[in-house]
Structure 1
Amino acid sequence: MTAATMTLTSTAKASVAKPGFDIGPVARTLVSIACFTMCFFCVIALGRAALGMVDNLHHYAKLPVIIHVATVLPAIPLGGYLLLARKGTAQHKMLGKVWLVLMLVTATSAIFIQSSGGFSFIHIFVPITFHAAWKTVATARKGDIAGHKKHLVFTYLTALMIPGIVAFAIPGRLMNAMLLG
């Protein structure tokens, strides 16, 4: 065995055995800012509601809305943590499965949240979430870690952050009412 072969073999073993951070600095910055900002707004909105500073929340007390909010709120910080923490560990894999279930339940519950008896433009994120979840699992099972990473960053930013921004920005939506009264 030559020195080059030994180096190649030991490098390959080290990369398989040692979990690491695998998203680049731009993605890490975007995820960090998005996660922190969305968590901050959620805490403020929940605090205002808990302190009785928001009127007329009773019309939001429908089971699909409750399920949707109860699953999306932990998905925000958990998804951010998973994207920023070490990858490939047993904890990462277990928490990743929890996050994926939270996202699928969030998307499924959104189907049953309709205004004026029909779907709104924000419902486009339901099939996006289902497709991204499938691609995330498929790429991980194939060992395509680059594809897995790409789909997870995409899912976090487009299927979680964009609808979250819309929920806070559009008057009449629950999170807008809770944040701005």
Structure 2
Amino acid sequence: MLMLHLSLSLLALAAILVILLLPKGMGAHRWLGRLAAAALMLSALSSFGIQARGHLSWLHILSVVTLVNIPFAIWAVRHGRVATHKRAMLINAGGLFVAGLFASLAPGRYLYGVLLG
């Protein structure tokens, strides 16, 4: 489950980084946005299969926020609320970045051991 979660998170991160560089509203932005949104949703869902000592951690709050915020961002852009969509998606991207930093830099976490251990 951890490798699935990591793979989906890295896919979402790569798509988001490209999206930030592309002109907004174009075909590539929309296609990559759908890819990023799907990867974020699946990554959030897969996080619930990763538990420390049999319990969810505070990072799972980000998963719940993502599972609510992605559909909201999609609703917003479909209803012409582009600024709201942008803000919601940037919140998701920030959450992914914070979770990635925590997973990579916190001693005792799997990625910390792989990257810095």
Do the structures match in fold with TM over 0.5? yes
Q: Does 1:153 align with 2:86?
A: no
Matching residue within 79, 89, 110 for 1:174? 110
The percent identity for this pair of structures is 28
Structure 1: 4+ residue segments shifted above 6 A: none
Matching residue within 88, 95, 99 for 1:163? 99
String of CA shifts for 1:127-158, please: whole Å, max 9, x gaps.
11111101110101101111111111111012
Distance 1:153 1:83 in 2: 10
Question: Would the aligned equivalents of 1:83 and 1:153 in 2 still touch at CA under 8 Å?
Answer: no
Shift of 1:84: 2.6
| Within-5 A mapping of 1:80-95 | 80-95=17-32
Q: Does 1:117 align with 2:62?
A: no
Distance 2:58 2:107 in 1: 15
Shift of 1:101: 0.5
Shift of 1:94: 1.1
Distance 1:76 1:173 in 2: 20
Q: Which has the larger radius of gyration?
A: 1
Distance 1:154 1:120 in 2: 20
1:112 counterpart SS class = coil
After alignment, is 84-93 or 105-114 more displaced?
A: 84-93
1:144 alignment counterpart: 81
Q: Which has the higher contact order (CA 8 A, sep 6+)?
A: 1
TM-score (norm 1): 0.62
Aligned residues: 117
1:6 alignment counterpart: none
Shift of 1:172: 1.8
